[in-house]
Structure 1
Amino acid sequence: LGRSREVSLPNYFTLAEIVDEPTEHDKQQKRAAGEELTAEYVIGFDVPEHLRGRELEIHLPAVSGDDVVVLNGVEIGRGEMDPAQHWNYEADPLRWPYLPARYYAIPADVLRDAGNELRIRVSGERLAEHTDKRFGLTRPVALRPRTPEAVRRRVAAYDREMGFFRPVTEGPKANLRLTVDSAEEAGGYRVTVENTGPAPAVFVVLDLEGEAGVPFRFDEGAFAGIPPGEAEVARLAVEGTPPPETTVVARLLNGETVAAKLS
């Protein structure tokens, strides 16, 4: 917290590892990292016209560490990462969004139309003995309409034993339509996920299959919920030339998996 610099998200503020039997070099890494187990992200923003006058939230899609969120000097939420339930960073967090998500409702009298200051304090001090000491905001922060409580309740918790999804077997189902179009930039694609079903699509996750190891990343790899008749758009960047059979896959908790080939 004694230094400041401009960063883009995702961002991690320490990479030192913990090992069972540390060497002297490992101990030095630990001591150095111990001074950098807390960081504060400061974001200034104005509220877009189409969001003004609505009930909004600050959404942190995947937090690696404990967090405290302050908007315009007022704390609007805090959360703790449970090392028994959530993995820390072990793979590409944009591809595997298994870290805890936060939904912090914004009081109407706290938000301004312009000149807002959001401070997100992320700490790994409590978790240092449980993780590999990679802490931070693994995906972009969003200002958006509040997520319905019914959708949040139906997002299944992830743990290692059960695997990533615990599908919803009862209740109304959603139907997804997946469209992939080439973007203007080289190696870029526009992925549109539309819910054509009668129920909200719950916890929609995008992935790429058949890419044969070609590096890729989604700018938004998961959506908590997509209401009926609405769509979400993600940008996909692929480095190199993927095989012809490469497909984008969308999975969800209350519906069938859908896929579309890269065009």
Structure 2
Amino acid sequence: MVGQVAGKVALVTGGASGIGQAIAELLAEEGASVVVTDVDELKGPDVVAGIRKGGREAVFLPQDVTSEPRWAEVVGEIEGRHGRLDVLVSNAGIGIGAASIVDMSLADWRRQTAINLDGVFLSVKYSLPLMRKTGGGSIIMMSSLAGLRGAATLAGYSATKGGVRLFAKSIAMECASMGDGIRVNSVHPGIIDTPIWGKIPSGGAASGQNAPIDCETLAQLATPLGRAGRARDIAQGVLYLASDASSYVTGSELVIDGGMFAGVAPRRPS
């Protein structure tokens, strides 16, 4: 299928790299007018330039998702430019690990919560009224496999992503009860090959191990499919939830993790 979101206006937060970039590019390929926001004011315009080079429509707006005043400005600019908002992809997030929760600072806990949870709350608070004016749409919140199960060195991260999961379900029920035509779902990636892995020291800050994590090696050991996913794999799932193909899907979790959540599949000898 081509043009699965043709004519729709989509907002993608954290769209300057990794999964967010892949989402923005695919939604634009499929016909959406995409608004890309990010704190990275160098890479963000490059992503949009690449989308436009392909003859598609996109704009970059710098945004710190923890800033409430900036949310009002961003949504106001979308309304001024397009008069509507059909798809919200709350993707911006960070991951901060710690060898033990006792080693995690309150400052890091609060920073992670502000971006991963407060930012998603603000995205809905300010985008939902415009989407309701539009007459329907799709909200997609980026959670994680860590939002479905515990992770020893990622307790703070898991707490935020678990919060996103239930926030999505609650907003789905609110929208359903109002009959506003807006569907709300969460996406739960597993080990995905993106630049973020080069920024996370293995073993946590207190372990003394500062070598970047090799996500492909980790995925070979941890996933039934035996490989890391790609950002495009997540983008394809988001495209489905953004499109009318998922018109009967709300309050659901789309897990894209190579089978990790399902169970363990020991390798059989060839």
> TM-score with structure 2 length normalisation?
0.25
Higher strand share: 1
State which structure, 1 or 2, has the greater radius of gyration over its C-alpha atoms: 1
Higher helix share: 2
> TM-score with structure 1 length normalisation?
0.26
